[in-house]
Amino acid sequence: MTDRETPAEFIHEPVLLQEVLQWMAPHPGGVYCDGTLGGGGHSGAILRACGGDATLYGIDRDMTAIEAATARLSSYPGFHALHGNFHDGKELLTVAGAPLLDGVLLDLGVSSPQLDRGERGFSYHEDAPLDMRMDTSQGQTAAELLNTLSEAELCRIIRDYGEEKWAVRIAQMICEHRAQKPMATTFDLVHAVDAAIPKAVRRKDDGHPARRTFQAIRIAVNDELEPLDRAICDFVDCLKPGGRMLVITFHSLEDRLVKRCFQRLQNPCTCPPRAPICTCGKKPMVRVLARGAVPPSEDEVARNPRARSAKLRVAERLGED
């Protein structure tokens, strides 16, 4: 069984695909969830690995992604697309009547079609309206956020979410720009960053100087980090014993959050370290696998440079005992 042709505007090469299949270990009759469906690349590979004999629930807040994945995977009777945010995955799966799962995948990156479509406002290479919403039907746009937040709050977002050393100066430049006219386009934001970071520093940067600021604003617009911990715990609740939770991250903030969440689920005991016995009653829910984060292969990075910062972490649901 093969996937149908995906609409041209949403063709996306899934990162760490072979590693995902290795650690997910999909099998015929299994039940899986792709919490960040995108164009359906990972989902299609999982379904093919099961010979088409599997149930897979794909969640995405972007209707363009839902439509593209549905067109691509419509030949698989076990595929079910769910429109919503993976932060609400447990509720979406419950409403859909999903049984306990054999595996869950979260790919936290922005898909290439979203980055490459200038009108979505994710790219610092094209001048376009400052939107950056994954779900364009709701929520504040990046322009609304940049034009209304205080300088201190903008600085916090750029510093914490973008890990940008020049956050104070960038926030100041954004506020100076919007005092003259509202921030409206991606190039407005690029110009504010350029004005804030000295030319000598920009020349030494091995990437675009605005990339960290764009990352930070995108994370804030889509509320990507705050609910992530709870979402992981909710998905772990949805797993069968032996089911696996896989998370792909693309920057250190996400990776640290996922790592700490897995560690806490593996060792939830809150008793003092020297206590002779555990009295808190909290039992491990998962076993962390893969001995840390799994990076992409050199071949994949050469083929797809956007995969270079990707990391995969894996945890396995424990049984009641």
Specify whether 22 is located in the same domain as 39. yes
* DSSP state string for 221-242: HHT-STTHHHHHHHHHHTEEEE
- Is position 203 within any domain? yes
What pLDDT, on the 0 to 100 scale, is given for residue 198? 92
Spell out, as residue ranges, where the chain has pLDDT lower than 50: 1-2, 5-8
CB atoms within 10 A of CB 321: 5
Specify whether 139 is located in the same domain as 218. yes
Q: Residue type at 239?
A: L
- Is position 2 within any domain? no
Specify whether 98 is located in the same domain as 242. yes
Specify whether 150 is located in the same domain as 87. no
Specify whether 135 is located in the same domain as 276. no
Among 5, 3, 13, smallest CA distance to 38 is for 13
Picking from 206, 222, 238, the residue at the C-terminal end of a domain is 222
Q: Residue type at 216?
A: A
Helix axes 151-162, 167-180, angle to 10 degrees: 140
- Is position 172 within any domain? yes
Specify whether 98 is located in the same domain as 52. yes
Picking from 167, 202, 222, the residue at the C-terminal end of a domain is 222
Specify whether 145 is located in the same domain as 192. yes
CB 43 within 8 A of CB 69: yes
Specify whether 48 is located in the same domain as 138. no
Specify whether 57 is located in the same domain as 78. yes
Specify whether 156 is located in the same domain as 197. yes
Q: Strands of 31-34's sheet, edge to edge?
A: 79-83, 55-60, 31-34, 101-107, 239-249, 311-317, 286-294
Domain with residue 251: its CATH number is 3.40.50.150
Among 251, 253, 258, smallest CA distance to 231 is for 258
- Is position 115 within any domain? no
What pLDDT, on the 0 to 100 scale, is given for residue 271? 85
Picking from 188, 222, 256, the residue at the C-terminal end of a domain is 222
- Is position 113 within any domain? no
Domain count, the chain: 2
Q: Which residue has the tokens 């270990």?
A: 25
CB 20 within 8 A of CB 105: yes
Domain with residue 178: its CATH number is 1.10.150.170
Specify whether 234 is located in the same domain as 267. yes
- Is position 1 within any domain? no
Q: Quote the domain boundaries for residue 46.
A: 8-108+225-317
What pLDDT, on the 0 to 100 scale, is given for residue 116? 57
What pLDDT, on the 0 to 100 scale, is given for residue 3? 57
- Is position 152 within any domain? yes
CB 48 within 8 A of CB 150: no
- Is position 114 within any domain? no
Specify whether 232 is located in the same domain as 101. yes
Q: Quick one: the chain helix, strand, coil %, rounded to 5?
A: 45, 15, 40
